[in-house]
Amino acid sequence: MRSRILNAVTSCALFILIVTCYAAITGTSMSLLRVGAWSAGGISAYIALSYAFGFDPYRTRIPAVAADWLHYVDRWELRLGQATLSMLGVMVIAAKLIDESHFVLAVVSGTLSAWTYFAFRLYNGGYRSQSGDRASTA
């Protein structure tokens, strides 16, 4: 399952299910509409920033004959790290400007749903390159 949209929708629904279970267990009242909106925003920001920073298994500037560690550092440490930290910054700024009264809920929903998307997509093989070469090592 390599579809970003399908992975994003599934991850958002999974995160809302997790929040629903958490709210039921703790007896806490949660606005699922607010959680869903911030989750969708976090996943969208993560996808856009991953693309902007080049975290894509089908694009690389490193030659195929380069060492495995160089592919790993370029892809997982530099590009994914830039996308993740930028997404966190975007979520903090957006939450402060848009929904300051629910700042923590907004930031947590946006970032944790984006990380849920990443884990779900990684588990489903969405980050493997087409040829299954060294770019797919984690």
For residues 107 and 79, give the distance between their C-alpha atoms in angstroms, rounded to a whole number.
22
Question: How many Cβ atoms from other residues are within 10 Å of residue 60's Cβ?
Answer: 17
Q: pLDDT under 70 in the chain at which residues?
A: 1-2, 55-61, 69, 71-74, 76-78, 126-138
Q: What whole-number distance in Å separates Cα of residue 115 and Cα of residue 124?
A: 14
H helix or E strand, kind and range, residue 4: helix 4-26
- Short-list 27, 82, 60, CA closest to 127: 60
The model's pLDDT over 86-123, given as tens digits with 9 standing for 90+, comes to: 899 999 999 999 999 999 999 999 999 998 888 888 78
pTM of the model: 0.77
